[in-house]
Amino acid sequence: MPTVVITGVGQRLGLCLAEHFLAKQYIVVGTYRTERASNKNLQLKGAQLYQVDFYDQQQTQRFIAAVTNNNDAIDCLIHNASDWHDDNEVLDFAAYHQIFSNMMTIHAEVPYQLNLAFRSLLTPKDDHQFTDIIHISDYVAAKGSKKHVAYAASKAALENLTLSFAQRFSPNIKVNAIAPALLAFNEHDHDSYKIKARNKSLMQTEGSFQEAINTVEWLLASRYITGRTIHLDGGRHLK
């Protein structure tokens, strides 16, 4: 059976991706940071999950060792683990430093480490086959964000990693990124916010997690796409 490694499967897109690949009879290896009922449900369905705080280098290294020791091959590596900080508030320099360090760690350093550590597992045994690395980026990587400067910068770094690893790992490991804007609202989002958010795109709606899953499948099926960032933003760039 094919194997997919997905970081950050506890909720939202990561959870939907894990459930999608389990339904397709993939071996799903996933990470989560916080204990949730969703984690136990995934394990009951057969997912191999690891609790990892990627801000802790020792935990990151233990995860790498576990995956390397327990798997002979990886068909797809999806970097979905993410974090979010609002640095628009008045903070001291120590807080600014920590926020920027955290954002770069989770969105750039960890994908960098995992890509390099798992390269041998991702290398196809057949020269005519391909494996995939997919970075989950964000619409703001190209636009910037006045409220989330560090977050936007770290996602831009992730998209640059997409370019570099596509070159380093060619021709048999495809490396691409997906940059969504609004996929789905959170339960606590107010109606006024939803209206404002929808109006930011030409399509006037949220994209849905299924849209991202469809894009992942499209990239996996391709034999000629690498080093690209696929934008799922409903036409926000034209507003």
Q: What is the pLDDT of residues 31-67, one digit of tens each?
A: 999 999 999 999 999 999 999 999 999 999 999 999 9
pLDDT band at residue 106 using 50, 70 and 90 as cut-offs: very high
What is the arithmetic mean of pLDDT over 158-167? 98
Q: 171: how many CB neighbours lie within 10 A of its CB?
A: 9
Contacts (Cβ under 8 Å, ≥6 apart) of 35: 51
- pLDDT exceeds 90 at position 171: yes
- pLDDT exceeds 80 at position 127: no
pLDDT band at residue 125 using 50, 70 and 90 as cut-offs: confident
Give the active site residue among 26, 32, 139, 151.
Answer: 151
Average pLDDT, rounded, for the chain: 95
Residue 151 designated active-site: yes
Helix (H, G, I), strand (E, B) or coil at 235: coil
- Residue 81 contacts residue 110 (beta carbons within 8 Å): yes
Question: What pLDDT score was predicted for residue 85?
Answer: 83
The lowest-confidence range among 136-150, 193-207, 211-225 is 193-207
- Name which residue leads in pLDDT, 94 or 104: 104
Q: Which of 139-148, 155-164, 190-199 has the highest mean pLDDT?
A: 155-164
Question: What pLDDT score was predicted for residue 90?
Answer: 60
Tokens of 126: 């057949």
Question: What pLDDT score was predicted for residue 89?
Answer: 73
Contacts (Cβ under 8 Å, ≥6 apart) of 146: 88
CA distance 53 to 57: 8
| Block residue for tokens 């397709």 | 24
- pLDDT exceeds 80 at position 92: yes
- pLDDT exceeds 90 at position 87: no
CATH (one of 3.30.1450.10, 3.40.50.150, 3.40.50.720, 2.60.40.1890) for 3-238: 3.40.50.720
CA distance 72 to 207: 35
The lowest-confidence range among 24-33, 54-63, 102-111, 125-134 is 125-134
Residue 73: is it exposed, middle or buried by C-beta count within 10 angstroms (0-12/13-18/19+)? Answer: middle
